[in-house]
Amino acid sequence: MENYTYSPDESEDSDTNEVMEMVDPSCDPNKPVKVSFEEITSAAYRIKSGIVNTACSKSHMSDLTGMDIYLKKDFLQHTGSFKERGARYAMLMLTEEQRQKGVVAASLGNHALAVCYHGYQLGIPVTVVMPIIAPIMKIQKCRDYNAKVIMEGKDMGEAKKIAIQYSKKNDLTYINGYDNPQIIAGQGTIALEILEQVQDVDAIVVPTGGGGLLAGVAVAIKTLNPNIKIIGVESERCASYNAAMESSKPIFTSIGGTLADGLAVPMIGYNAWETSKNIIDKMVVVKEEWIAVAILRFVELEKCVVEGAGACGLAAILAGQLDEFKGKRVVLILSGGNIDTTILGRCLERGLAADGRLVKCKVTVSDRPGGISELCKLIGSIGVSIKDVIHERAWVTSDVFSVEVKVVCETRDYNHSVELRDLLYSRYKKVRFDNNQFQSQVSSTSDYD
């Protein structure tokens, strides 16, 4: 790993979008490039031997959602994401001199991994700049491919500036992970595979960060079958495509911590915007809790580990934001599977909580022998399992013979949690549930058991 100190160019002091983007030669805001269908087919031909043609299989969740869902499993690429498509194509298109000198990329992880892996395969030296918030697992994997890793910048916006400056100083080719036209073309190849794998598709749902995947998919699909709807999805914490739609141009938007870390790009690309703006049908912004539930559903029902970004499409469906496609055939792009195991654990717990299957409450019980055990027996009598019990004596204000017990319980489904709540209310005078737990319920598990 290398330390590199970023010093802004004079020309970058301005806050305007235009000046910042001017420094990346492949993304000129004044001359945005519209990626063509021909470039996508050319990319498909060139990358074929180095990319996995991933399965696009029917989902087990079709009954649950009321849609005929197919899952394009691009998390099964070697480095765990679709980003390999664009990365390989962009690197194959380098001149011999550029190949020798090497490339630089800025990324939260998946693009970096893809560039590192294919650089390693093709014998091209790679330097990646990763913001300090990049997931540990992704950072480690980049190092495994012998790449030079620079960890700098608080977010993608900063990492990108550092990478561009580094590329200029060292005369290396900078490969923008979502806006380089070759990257967009490479990402579009996934759409060609989908059309070969699934007949009569009505809609394709595309996780959206900088907009490269969305733009590539939209061009390929609208050229071959304009009737297929293209839906973009982004997290509420980084809704940069939505911001561009509101301003009719790419614009910086503030981004917060999100489970969909792969989508955390503060401004979508100019080329991605130019290519996609008139051909996408809908953009959906999903809430974080639905992303957690979607990750949980993928693990439980599909036996797939999908990262937050890749789970956004299902999140939008579960949240009821794509109900117009009920009865229709919908393809979800599962764009990545690189998730830290600790984050996965947290997502699963959050998913269970949002689902109404992990609930907590405080019950004041008698402090006489048997008081707490009576509560535990009562909870167990309806088949609810206790995950945690904490009891509190010192701060109970009612009487000295009482104790407040905080219990975290795992239930079968939302209705089971309601049964627990009603039972405790009927037996104890002081019971406190956080009512939010009963508002964010997703759907009864009995629907998909």
Query: CA-to-CA distance for 12 and 6, rounded, in angstroms?
Result: 12
Query: CA-to-CA distance for 188 and 181, rounded, in angstroms?
Result: 11
- Strand partners of residue 58: 70
Q: Does 242 bind ligand PLP (CB under 6 A)?
A: no
Give the residue with the Cβ less far from ligand PLP, 340 or 374: 340
In the block, residue with structure tokens 């489970």: 259
Which range in 3-11, 43-51, 189-197, 305-313 contacts ligand PLP by CB under 6 A? 305-313
Which of 211, 250, 266, 313 is close enough to bind ligand PLP by CB under 6 A? Answer: 211
Instruction: Just list the catalytic residues.
Output: 83, 335
298: DSSP letter:
I
Which range in 96-104, 202-210, 319-327, 401-409 contacts ligand PLP by CB under 6 A? 202-210
Q: How many CA atoms lie within 13 A of 389 on its CB side?
A: 15
Which of 294, 309, 315, 353 is close enough to bind ligand PLP by CB under 6 A? Answer: 309
445: DSSP letter:
G
Which range in 203-211, 242-250, 393-401, 410-418 contacts ligand PLP by CB under 6 A? 203-211
Give the residue with the Cβ less far from ligand PLP, 176 or 445: 176
Q: Does 239 bind ligand PLP (CB under 6 A)?
A: no
Which of 307, 355, 404, 413 is close enough to bind ligand PLP by CB under 6 A? Answer: 307
Q: Shortest Cβ distance from residue 311 to ligand PLP (Å)?
A: 9
Complete edge-to-edge strand list for the sheet that includes strand 358-366: 385-392, 402-410, 358-366, 431-433
Q: How many CA atoms lie within 13 A of 48 on its CB side?
A: 8
Q: Shortest Cβ distance from residue 372 to ligand PLP (Å)?
A: 46
CB atoms within 10 A of CB 25: 13
* Among 307, 305, 292, residue whose Cα is nearest residue 351: 292
At residue 74, the 3 state secondary structure works out as helix
Q: Which two tokens stand for residue 121?
A: 């395969």
Q: Shortest Cβ distance from residue 215 to ligand PLP (Å)?
A: 8
Q: Which stretches of 274-416 are assigned E, i.e. beta strand? A: 282-286, 329-334, 358-366, 385-392, 402-410
81: DSSP letter:
B
Q: Does 130 bind ligand PLP (CB under 6 A)?
A: no
Q: Shortest Cβ distance from residue 349 to ligand PLP (Å)?
A: 22
Q: How many CA atoms lie within 13 A of 267 on its CB side?
A: 22
* Among 126, 137, 130, residue whose Cα is nearest residue 167: 126
In Å, how far are 47, 107, 112, 358, 435 from 160, measured between CA atoms? 26, 8, 12, 40, 43
Q: Does 250 bind ligand PLP (CB under 6 A)?
A: no
Query: CA-to-CA distance for 210 and 436, rounded, in angstroms?
Result: 33
Which of 89, 117, 166, 178 is close enough to bind ligand PLP by CB under 6 A? Answer: 178
Which range in 33-41, 151-159, 205-213, 290-298 contacts ligand PLP by CB under 6 A? 205-213
Give the residue with the Cβ less far from ligand PLP, 89 or 414: 89
Q: Does 81 bind ligand PLP (CB under 6 A)?
A: yes
Helices in 93-180 by DSSP H: which ranges?
Answer: 96-101, 110-122, 136-144, 156-170
Q: Does 208 bind ligand PLP (CB under 6 A)?
A: yes
Which of 72, 73, 111, 421 is close enough to bind ligand PLP by CB under 6 A? Answer: 111
Query: CA-to-CA distance for 111 and 118, rounded, in angstroms?
Result: 11
Give the residue with the Cβ less far from ligand PLP, 108 or 318: 108
Q: Does 336 bind ligand PLP (CB under 6 A)?
A: yes
Give the residue with the Cβ less far from ligand PLP, 173 or 187: 187
Which of 188, 209, 266, 313 is close enough to bind ligand PLP by CB under 6 A? Answer: 209
Query: CA-to-CA distance for 169 and 33, rounded, in angstroms?
Result: 26
Q: Does 212 bind ligand PLP (CB under 6 A)?
A: yes
Q: Does 188 bind ligand PLP (CB under 6 A)?
A: no
Q: Does 59 bind ligand PLP (CB under 6 A)?
A: no
Give the residue with the Cβ less far from ligand PLP, 33 or 213: 213
Which of 29, 102, 210, 250 is close enough to bind ligand PLP by CB under 6 A? Answer: 210
Give the residue with the Cβ less far from ligand PLP, 287 or 360: 287
Q: Does 214 bind ligand PLP (CB under 6 A)?
A: yes
Query: CA-to-CA distance for 343 and 28, rounded, in angstroms?
Result: 37
Task: Judge contact between 308 and 180, C-beta under 8 A.
Answer: no
The residue ranges that bind ligand PLP (CB under 6 A) are 81, 83, 110-111, 178, 187, 207-214, 262-263, 265, 307, 309-310, 335-336
